[in-house]
Structure 1
Amino acid sequence: MKFKSSKVNEFRLWGLLLTMGGMLLMIVGLAGIVFNWGTAGKIMAGIFMVIGAIAMLASMAVYFWAGMMSTSTTVIECPECGKPTKMLGKTDRCMFCKTILSLDPKHDPNANA
């Protein structure tokens, strides 16, 4: 559980992974042209470029979605670190210290009852 982060940061992580994966696919596809693999290399480059571009567009959509959700989140102050953090849903984690937060007492994991 120590690798968990807030929901907004999880969406941003997926956007970053799609961006890096798309660029990696485009670079791998470029090897077919750089190393002069003939017609097969050009076809491979085209296919990998298209798949990489689709991954980049998907990352743009994920970043846009995370940004739109981020504008409508509830900003609360973390009881552990005292920093303002954004909260999505009924429970979330602090963006800084990863403490589990909840606005609803029945969903609060730190409650004694």
Structure 2
Amino acid sequence: MRFKSSKVNEFRLWGLLLTMGGMLLMILGLAGIVFNWGQAGKIMAVVFMIIGMISMLLSMGVYFWAGMLSTSATVIVCPECGRQTKLLGKTDRCMYCKTILTLDPKIATEHNVQTEQG
């Protein structure tokens, strides 16, 4: 499994990165107007504002998608930490202690055998 945290938290992380990146681009674009770089500064501000706005809209879509996935996720109790966590797909990680979780006994058995041998 390539995720280091739960899938829902990964989606939220990407939403946060898109939000921060969009805000940073908009702030950088504003430098063209604040420092009075003339016509080139205004064009730069417009371009960076549009790219930043698109990034913010994408982040809103990612947050919406993560929210919809979160409402349909299976809620289970983590065997390691005892907290309730959400499971997306066949395998996922606990939101708190990062333990790999699954509801499929075949996958759980294969993982335990690989862990004991390796």
Work out whether the TM-score is over 0.5.
Answer: yes
TMscore range, shorter length: over 0.9
TM-score, length-scaled by structure 1: 0.94
Q: Is the partner of 1:95 in helix, strand or coil? A: coil
1:1-113 paired onto structure 2 within 5 Å: 4-108=4-108, 110-112=111-113
RMSD, aligned α-carbons: 1.6
TM-score, length-scaled by structure 2: 0.90
Work out whether residues 25 and 49 of structure 1, in 8 Å CA contact, stay in contact via their aligned partners in 2: yes
Work out whether residues 105 and 111 of structure 1, in 8 Å CA contact, stay in contact via their aligned partners in 2: no
CA distance in 1: counterparts of 2:40 and 2:6, whole angstroms: 44
Task: Answer 1 or 2: which has greater helix percent.
Answer: 2
Q: Structure 1 stretches (4+) deviating beyond 6 angstroms?
A: none
Kindly provide the CA deviation profile for residues 73-107 of structure 1, in whole angstroms up to 9, marking residues without a partner as x: 00000000000000000000000000000000111
Q: Percent identity?
A: 79
- Please state how far the C-alpha of 1:34 moved relative to its aligned partner: 0.3
Q: Is the partner of 1:76 in helix, strand or coil? A: strand
Residue segments in structure 1 that go unaligned for 5+ positions in a row: none
